[in-house]
């Protein structure tokens, strides 16, 4: 038996002579790449991976041979991140693996993702069972949490509360409740709180509302809520997070409670907020929401799929806030050309403008918005003098001779090299109206002079993208039709 073990050891030593020539530092980096190869990329970090069948990749590396085991066991950064997928109420093996990984992480910050959809309602809860054991293990390391992601049933949320030291190093908190993809009111009565009221910096929440998060909001700088959360809770959120810089609110709604909490009093001045985006709100109280705030530091503003508001409400917000807006994104706005002019007049500092489906309902002629943008590009009556990026989408009409004639005029005066013209770096039109019985070739520009002007603009440094249905490049087709090149 002794000879057999010696022989197996020697075989393992020789099984991969290439990696044996590498210094430990290089081999360690290869290990780190391997343990992260199957995971989704995060916006600010990458998580190591725990497979759904609870085979930790770092443990697998350590099982190959003695040298690899020594390297894996002596490298804490390979163990600092773990993705846990708890599927069975009796899975003690999962608890053991998680404990091993976290014990070997040394003193390094931890990146933990926990997926668990078991709940007491389903009859699987046992206070002495594996799930409770798993939560206890995760809680015991809370003083080293740096990123915590939870995909779980609402009943489990209050149990993840950390240890007596709290979570002083927590920077990113992500919570997604089970079935939160449905636009249903968030479950009530399940509160997430941390010992010591520690404050994360980044927060993403799906399926849970503001009032279910008993955390310290004082240091939060970035928030994303994708929740059927009442609009007045969005107002409370902004008031409780004075350091907030980026805020995205999606799928917010009205409620029976109404908006009385925020209707009276002096508007709240939020001095740090730079980026505000609201998506999928179909109520009619945005004016009450915006009337209660001033955003003097606002740089980027987006309003998407919110059909029941007047554009003048946004204009009034920008005027009262005296903000130097740099990016404006609107979709499905119901507006007239005059309302759009008033809005853009308040933002001469604007660098980027995106308009999507903002040409229907009110205007008798949907193309009027493009006529307006072309008419205001002249150097003598320029609107948006600092505009660099213009993106426009519509499905109300398709490419016609008039639309082609308007497109270069949006760039400004005829002389493409004139400093008085609108200095666009990017011009993007996606015109996706139904073409009926027409062929794609019928959409190309027949006017060679128009195509030549657009080609000159591209050669001078403007990136121009003219599309039909997001993928068909009609500018490229038009260049080919007239046998023109961009070189």
Predicted model pTM: 0.84
Per-residue pLDDT tens for 391-407? 999 888 889 999 999 99
Confidence of residue 420 (pLDDT cuts 50, 70, 90): low
Confidence of residue 279 (pLDDT cuts 50, 70, 90): very high
How far apart are the two ends of the chain, measured CA to CA in Å? 75
Confidence of residue 224 (pLDDT cuts 50, 70, 90): very high
CA 120 to each of CA 127, 131, 353, 414: distance values in angstroms, whole numbers, following the listed order: 10, 11, 49, 71
From the CB of residue 65, how many other CB atoms can be counted at a distance below 10 Å? Answer: 20
What's the token pair of residue 145? 């949490």
Q: Is the model's pLDDT at 376 over the cut of 70?
A: yes
Average pLDDT for 127-149: 88
Task: Specify the range with the lowest mean pLDDT, choosing from 64-68, 286-290, 346-350.
Answer: 64-68
4 or 318: which leads in pLDDT: 318
Contact between 68 and 54 (Cβ < 8 Å): no
Task: Specify the range with the lowest mean pLDDT, choosing from 2-16, 204-218, 411-425.
Answer: 2-16
Q: Is the model's pLDDT at 128 over the cut of 90?
A: no
Q: Is the model's pLDDT at 47 over the cut of 50?
A: no
Average pLDDT for 64-93: 79
Q: Are strands 293-294 and 327-331 parallel, antiparallel or unpaired?
A: unpaired
User: Strands (DSSP E) along 254-410, which ranges?
Assistant: 268-269, 275-279, 293-294, 300-304, 327-331, 352-356, 389-394
Confidence of residue 40 (pLDDT cuts 50, 70, 90): very low
What's the token pair of residue 136? 């206890």
Q: Is the model's pLDDT at 334 over the cut of 80?
A: no
Distance CA 294, CA 321 (A): 5
In percent, the amount of the chain with pLDDT more than 90 equals 33
Q: Is the model's pLDDT at 50 over the cut of 80?
A: no
CA 376 to each of CA 218, 226, 360, 371, 421: distance values in angstroms, whole numbers, following the listed order: 44, 38, 21, 9, 10
Task: Specify the range with the lowest mean pLDDT, choosing from 149-153, 300-304, 468-472.
Answer: 468-472
Return the top range by mean pLDDT from 44-53, 116-125, 155-164, 318-327.
318-327
Query: Burial of 95 by CB count in 10 Å (0-12 exposed, 13-18 middle, 19+ buried)?
Result: buried
Query: Burial of 255 by CB count in 10 Å (0-12 exposed, 13-18 middle, 19+ buried)?
Result: middle
Query: What is the overall mean pLDDT for the chain?
Result: 81
Number of H helices, E strands in the chain: 15, 19
Write the DSSP symbol of residue 56.
B
From the CB of residue 150, how many other CB atoms can be counted at a distance below 10 Å? Answer: 20
Q: Is the model's pLDDT at 12 over the cut of 70?
A: no
In percent, the amount of the chain with pLDDT more than 70 equals 79
Distance CA 138, CA 83 (A): 12
Average pLDDT for 294-315: 91
């Amino acid at each position: 038996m002794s000879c057999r073990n010696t022989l197996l050891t020697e075989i393992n030593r020789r099984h991969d002579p290439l990696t044996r020539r590498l210094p430990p530092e290089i081999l360690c980096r290869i290990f780190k790449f391997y343990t992260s190869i199957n995971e989704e990329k995060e916006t600010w970090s990458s998580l190591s991976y725990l497979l759904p069948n609870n085979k930790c990749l770092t443990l697998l590396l350590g099982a190959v041979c003695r040298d690899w085991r020594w390297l894996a066991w002596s490298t804490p950064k390979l163990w600092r991140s773990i993705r846990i997928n708890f599927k069975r109420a009796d899975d003690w093996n999962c608890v053991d693996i998680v404990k091993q990984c976290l014990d070997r992480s040394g003193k390094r910050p931890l990146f933990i993702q926990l997926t668990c959809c078991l709940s007491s309602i389903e009859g699987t809860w046992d206070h002495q069972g594996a799930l409770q054991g798993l939560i206890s293990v995760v809680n015991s390391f809370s003083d080293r949490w740096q990123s915590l992601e939870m995909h779980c049933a609402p009943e489990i949320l209050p149990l993840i509360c950390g240890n007596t030291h709290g979570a002083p190093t927590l920077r990113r908190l992500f919570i997604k409740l089970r079935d939160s993809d449905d636009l249903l009111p968030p479950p009530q009565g399940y509160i997430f709180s941390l010992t010591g009221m520690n404050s994360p910096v980044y927060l993403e929440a799906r399926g849970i509302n503001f009032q279910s998060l008993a955390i310290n909001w004082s240091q939060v700088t970035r928030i994303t809520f994708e929740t059927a959360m009442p609009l007045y809770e969005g107002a409370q959120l902004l008031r409780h997070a004075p350091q907030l810089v980026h805020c995205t609110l999606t799928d917010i709604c009205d409620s029976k409670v109404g908006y009385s909490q925020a209707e009276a009093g002096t508007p709240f001045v939020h001095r740090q907020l730079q980026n505000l985006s609201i998506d999928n709100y179909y109520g009619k109280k945005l004016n009450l929401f915006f009337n209660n705030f001033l955003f003097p530091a606002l740089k980027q503003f987006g309003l998407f799929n919110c059909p029941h508001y007047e554009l003048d409400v946004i204009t009034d917000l920008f005027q009262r806030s005296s903000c130097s807006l740099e990016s404006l994104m609107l979709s499905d706005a119901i507006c007239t050309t005059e309302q759009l002019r008033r809005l853009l007049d308040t933002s001469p500092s604007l660098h980027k403008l995106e308009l999507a489906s903002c040409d229907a309902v009110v205007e008798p002629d949907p193309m009027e918005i493009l006529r307006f943008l072309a008419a205001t590009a002249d150097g003598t009556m320029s609107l948006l003098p600092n505009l660099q990026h213009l993106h426009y989408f519509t499905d109300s009409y398709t490419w016609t001779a008039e639309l082609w004639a308007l497109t270069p005029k949006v760039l400004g005066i005829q002389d493409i090299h004139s400093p008085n013209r609108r200095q666009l770096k990017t011009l993007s039109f996606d015109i996706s109206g139904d073409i009926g019985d027409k062929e794609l070739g019928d959409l190309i520009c027949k006017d060679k002079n128009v195509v030549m002007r657009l080609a000159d603009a591209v050669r001078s440094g403007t990136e121009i993208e003219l599309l039909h249905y997001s993928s068909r490049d009609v500018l490229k087709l038009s260049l080919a039709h007239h046998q023109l090149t961009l070189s």
